[in-house]
Chain A
């Protein structure tokens, strides 16, 4: 993983060097080649790289360089002004916004979900989890699979008396952010004891590095439960549990259920779009859903760079969304696209 990431960074740096050269020579000739740099979330990287190659077809003079160094790194680079946009799986904190020189806008780009996965032999169908059960398991109060809190909703499954081995991400990640955000909302005990962040002080369990570390540990350990990104679970054909949402129905994790979660929460979204759509009220909503935002400065200096950033993000909100499904990302609901675009309009109004 680190090797891959290293290769990506090197390739990015090489691209950067090449594009700097070409843009400076083009500037001498009065040409309009622009290269813009973004950095942050690893979650969004697959669709971001698809976007940057597709966008080159739409706007051949714009080069997008995106380095997937992690959301925290993306925010740090935005604050340090080394990139034109950052991408993050959790909204910037008030402290980070204060650190940034100038107001920052959050522009939602894609959505994803986190799903519970487990290692129990031959079950007839997916396990149904209530919010209480998930919080209890991760707090360490539910210790075996045949605990009444689990069997109540899974009477037909004959869950075994196997001890539950809790697995979590050991590296700081947006996945953990969404997972703990959800647990904090559904369990007051979790909120006061553990809380919500990209890394937390886990009450129990084993830590695996990255999605592959968590899924590997779950697969190797009978009775284990872990959480991974929906895309990862789908691509690796891992069992994913159903979770009871706020409306009271058990939902199977799908990308449509994630889009419903955003749609269900649309009325209550804050103006700055630093929202959370976990435990969303929608009837079909998947309760453990998250968003990746682009973060940009509201007062970017006018010029070709600002135009390029805004038009790229605007394109990603509209035409770009159609590449989401193929890569197992959830699209933004149209209402949210409108709100996101309103933010971009404040950075630079669209050309008529």
Chain B
């Protein structure tokens, strides 16, 4: 998109003599003073993002220096988090963050895309608008409300209804062993799924709505059914956009703090069963930062922040590479 806009003035640039382009009066360069100011301002705003990111990383590294020096790589693999003896390891928190985000995506992606397909392709226009509005409204609910709702409403449902059924039917898998106390990684993933649903649904809806009608008509004209049209024409056309929506949602799931803290059980452990309590990186920062005493303790919490940054970066990068490959395969 960005390149498309820029090619227009650049093409007219090239037609002028080089010296004029560079040194001539603004009007001859094809730029008015206003344009020049606007261009510089935009460049500065663009650069500020990079600068902000740089500062953020610098501050995080500086704040976690003591922990980086003391624990080194062990910080990444150690499962013990003991503020009393100042021994800190982050692997349990990384595990919790990744697992809950995966559960959330597994639940929310099919649901979100389904909602989008319904709103764009199936629902009558009169119904589509209010339902779309309701889905977007989900995004406006504060996360603490989700958290308390999760604790008081969802957790008992998971304990009494969801977990026993999963245990009975899928109990041979290591993910559904043991007994659920209500709060745990599964419940946290479910809450996250509800929270990221509006992102996936709303963005996918806009992506699907942007698929040209001619594409659909062409498919239908070839004798394809509605389902075949959606599956073979509409969804592939919007694939990159939908993947973008998923990446956006994933970012939100990785960083969500308050709602997860209320329902995950906050017990740093690596357990295969999703009924077991876990702990996420953002939760431990939110839980312990205010009362943390001692410089190593604070540094360890800051390093968790740095690690969360790295994990988010890596997961996002991975998702982007995946999308890029998918798009390339389509073209080939």
Q: Which residues of A contact B (CB under 8 A)?
A: 1-3, 69-73, 75-76, 93, 95-96, 165, 170-174, 194-202, 205-209, 212-213, 216-217, 220-221
Contact A198 B265 (CB under 8 A): no
List B139-168 residues whose CB lies under 8 Å from chain A: 142, 144, 148, 151-152, 155-156, 159
A170 and B293 form a contact (CB under 8 A): no
Partner of A213, one of B85, B151, B182: B151
Cβ contact within 8 Å between A221 and B182: yes
Is there contact, CB below 8 Å, between B287 and A199? Answer: yes
Which residues does chain B contribute within 8 Å of A202, judged by CB atoms?
267
A195 pairs with B84, CB closer than 8 A: yes
In the bound complex, what is the Cα–Cα distance between A308 and B258 (angstroms)? 38
Q: Which of A3, A75, A201, A206 contacts B293 (CB 8 A)?
A: A75
Contacts of A95 in B (CB 8 A): 294
Q: A216 near B148 (CB under 8 angstroms)?
A: yes
Tell me the bound Cα distance from A195 to B86 in angstroms. 12
Q: Smallest CB–CB gap between A33 and chain B, Å? A: 31
Whether B83 lies near A199 (C-beta < 8 A) is yes
**Quick one: closest A residue to B142, CB to CB?**
A3
Q: Which of B204-258 contact A (CB under 8 A)?
A: 258
The distance from the CB of A24 to the nearest CB of chain B, in whole angstroms, is 31
Chain B residues contacting A216 (CB-CB under 8 Å) are 148, 151-152, 262
Q: Which of B85, B155, B159, B290 contacts A72 (CB 8 A)?
A: B290
A200 near B83: Cβ-Cβ < 8 Å: yes
* B302 CB–A CB distance under 8 Å: no
Q: A206-B277, A213-B262, A220-B155 are in contact. Are A71 and B291 (CB under 8 A)?
A: yes
**Are B287 and A170 in touch, CB under 8 angstroms?**
yes
| A197–B84 touching, CB < 8 Å | yes
Q: Which of B182, B265, B290 has the most CB of A within 10 A?
A: B290
Q: Which residues of B contact A (CB under 8 A)?
A: 80-85, 142, 144, 148, 151-152, 155-156, 159, 181-183, 258, 261-262, 265-267, 277, 279, 283, 286-294
B291 interface neighbour in A165, A173, A207, Cβ under 8 Å = A173
- Residue contact A171 to B81, C-beta cutoff 8 Å: no
Q: Are B265 and A206 in contact (CB under 8 A)?
A: yes
Residues of chain A lying within 8 A (CB to CB) of residue B155:
217, 220
B151 touches A171 (CB 8 A): no
The smallest C-beta distance from B95 to any residue of chain A, in angstroms, reads 16
Docked CA distance A75–B84 (Å): 18
Q: How far is the CB of A140 from chain B (nearest CB, A)?
A: 12
Given A194-B84, A207-B277, A220-B156, check contact A172 B262 (CB 8 Å). Answer: no
A217 touches B293 (CB 8 A): no
Instruction: Name 8 interchain pairs, CB-CB below 8 A, sorted by A.
Output: A1-B144, A72-B290, A72-B292, A198-B291, A199-B288, A207-B287, A209-B262, A217-B155
A195 neighbours in B (Cβ, 8 Å): 84-85
Q: Given A75-B293, A201-B84, A207-B267, decide whether A221 and B181 contact each other with a Cβ distance below 8 A.
A: yes
Instruction: Report whether A73 and B290 are in contact in the complex, using a CB–CB cutoff of 8 Å.
Output: yes
Minimum Cβ distance to chain A for residue B69 (Å): 18
Measured in the bound complex, the distance between the Cα atoms of B291 and A69 in whole Å is: 9
With A and B bound together, what is the CA distance between A217 and B211 in angstroms?
47
Among B159, B266, B279, B293, residue most surrounded by chain A Cβ atoms (within 10 Å):
B293
Q: How far is the CA of A206 from the CA of B182 in the complex (A)?
A: 10
B293 and A198 form a contact (CB under 8 A): yes
Q: Hey, which chain B residues are within 8 Å of A217, CB to CB?
A: 151, 155, 182-183
What 19 additional pairs, Cβ within 8 angstroms, besides A199-B292, A208-B151?
A1-B144, A71-B291, A72-B291, A93-B293, A170-B261, A170-B283, A172-B287, A194-B84, A199-B287, A200-B82, A206-B266, A207-B265, A207-B277, A209-B262, A209-B266, A212-B148, A213-B262, A217-B183, A220-B182
